Structure 1
């Protein structure tokens, strides 16, 4: 079963990204009145749940990262993550910075120091604001990569299952007792999604066990708890109400979708080539928010809001594909070659 590339994950990535794009464009930007001039009431009540696309990203990441790490090679894992994260981020961050300088004022601003710190991925550590707010999730991802890297460095990746159990137990305790430092270090708000994705990978690669099923049930419980707590915290901020049943149903749908994938029930869907959609997802996620809001603020209300919203979505998808095809892929290829060569030279020395 597990020699097949799971192209369904590429489709899932794209759907998650579109959910986030519509959350920002049709709801979040206007809801607080601090980013976008353009309301979009037609979609707002549905789009306000689109932020859960990030949680789906984290589940996909848990699955894919454990798959990548299963070779038990820290150098290969490091190279794969650098090549995956950096080229698109550097390009999209640069584009967003330049467009902010050109048309962002007076609502949005950026400076050279902020840009340079963002390019190093260290902004979160030293308290420098991101050029685009969506970068917060990259810092969550990087913490997860570091955890996996530690296991690889200690040659303990085969003990991942017990580590997932410990991570979940500590996360649940830290959430319940509000241990803020521990919550930050162990990304407990989102741990359940990484744990679920990783557990689904173990089921896909090695089959079902009682422990893995129990881990999934516990991960779902923690995911629902943290998601509802988060929704409650943003209701005032966005002057809206979130339905606990819709949130829990959406998360349950994520889990059931993964269950269908790992039990090979989606093979027919996987035979279709979703790779191109999956490839443009990362640039789309990085690029869409601030630039979209700047376009809205310049063009609205002169341009029809339907044309403006869907035209901007299409523009972002097109730009993301160009960035992936013409810039990200060549840079990634070059980086992979040079990093692999550097590691070989170090080993030879």
Structure 2
């Protein structure tokens, strides 16, 4: 999950308040999945089970798919003004400061209380700080970083569209991406599947189409694209369940999985059609602000606290106390880092891009404006 990909604000200052609430719901689903199911079920993270919520929490891994759908919506909203420069600067400035702090806190926790289940080297930490370690096959400090790599791939695709000056043809490009995803499901090609992010393309595409509906209305083509995305999403989710069940020795309800995915499309459809009503349109700024640092901080730090405190302390106290602690830490990162330094970092990035743009213009590339 990338922060700006899941922010409710676009570069033009518009805000879709419901997005902040959906982001927080998705983040909490992932947190409960890790704390109440994945850590113990995987057998390699923590010895503390939490059976009270296990039967529900095991579906929380699907919160990441909602993140990707929201990302499609907001990233197209952000890129709609056609400025590659603004897009790149906003991505860097909004992603990196909080990530650097959260990655550093996780590394410090590993050094202090990580053993024997968690370990990391200083060089591994430095490569992680680039946020590109997944592309050079260096293990992540925290497992949740995998979704950042997917987001970065999506940002690269959007950047290429902006560089070519084709953002005004977003619907046609999304339709082509959808067609390619369908084709690669029939005739797989590993390289193209990686480049086109086909495992998660239905969610990114659906989110972007929902933005088009939000900004300029629904039509037959867009409804057809959303139906195709829903079909692909259901196919992929149901097809992956046997492996999930085998890995974690559990049984998953197919009906529940279908209902969750359909609910994502319904929720985003209500946002796109502005049918959410006054309650959901209220400002959910705090919920949205906590989401990115919460996502980055919660997993391995939470597991390490579980291992440190259990079985000496009651599991209910450990579970809910850890959740409260990471929520508070997330607020500190937001208030102390994001709110205070993002603007300064954005101005610094803007200056660096100015210098880079000048160099590019001198070699004949003029798309940075």
Q: TM-score, normalised by structure 1?
A: 0.96
Per-residue deviation, residues 20-64 of structure 1 (Å, max 9, x unmatched): 000000000000210011111111111000001100000000000
- Partners of 2:328 and 2:256 lie apart in 1 by 32
5+ long unaligned stretches in structure 1: none
Q: Is the 8 A contact 1:261 1:267 kept in 2?
A: no
Instruction: State the match for 2:157 in structure 1.
Output: 147
- Partners of 1:118 and 1:4 lie apart in 2 by 33
- Partners of 1:345 and 1:244 lie apart in 2 by 53
Look up the SS of the partner of 1:215 in the other structure. Answer: helix
Instruction: State the match for 1:279 in structure 2.
Output: 289
> CA offset at residue 176 of structure 1?
3.4
How many equivalent residue pairs? 348
- Partners of 2:15 and 2:279 lie apart in 1 by 12
Instruction: State the match for 2:320 in structure 1.
Output: 310
Instruction: State the match for 1:212 in structure 2.
Output: 222
- Partners of 1:168 and 1:233 lie apart in 2 by 25
Instruction: State the match for 1:132 in structure 2.
Output: 142
> CA offset at residue 331 of structure 1?
2.6
Instruction: State the match for 1:337 in structure 2.
Output: 347
Specify which of 262, 266, 277 is matched with residue 272 of structure 2: 262
Look up the SS of the partner of 2:139 in the other structure. Answer: coil
Look up the SS of the partner of 1:68 in the other structure. Answer: helix
Q: TM-score, normalised by structure 2?
A: 0.91
Instruction: State the match for 1:11 in structure 2.
Output: 21
Instruction: State the match for 2:262 in structure 1.
Output: 252
- Partners of 2:205 and 2:168 lie apart in 1 by 15
Give 1:77-96 correspondences, 5 Å limit: 77-96=87-106
Instruction: State the match for 1:240 in structure 2.
Output: 250
- RMSD between superposed Cα atoms in Å: 1.5
- Partners of 2:352 and 2:107 lie apart in 1 by 31
- Partners of 1:281 and 1:299 lie apart in 2 by 25
> CA offset at residue 348 of structure 1?
6.7
> CA offset at residue 327 of structure 1?
1.5
> CA offset at residue 178 of structure 1?
3.4
1:108–1:348 distance in 2 versus 1, CA, 3 Å: closer
1:267–1:80 distance in 2 versus 1, CA, 3 Å: farther
Specify which of 147, 156, 169 is matched with residue 179 of structure 2: 169
* Pairing 1:97–2:107 present: yes
* Pairing 1:320–2:327 present: no
Instruction: State the match for 1:76 in structure 2.
Output: 86
- Partners of 1:337 and 1:104 lie apart in 2 by 37
1:7–1:153 distance in 2 versus 1, CA, 3 Å: same
Instruction: State the match for 2:123 in structure 1.
Output: 113
> CA offset at residue 122 of structure 1?
2.0
- Partners of 1:161 and 1:273 lie apart in 2 by 30
Q: Is the 8 A contact 1:96 1:287 kept in 2?
A: yes
- Partners of 2:167 and 2:121 lie apart in 1 by 41
5+ long unaligned stretches in structure 2: 1-9, 360-369
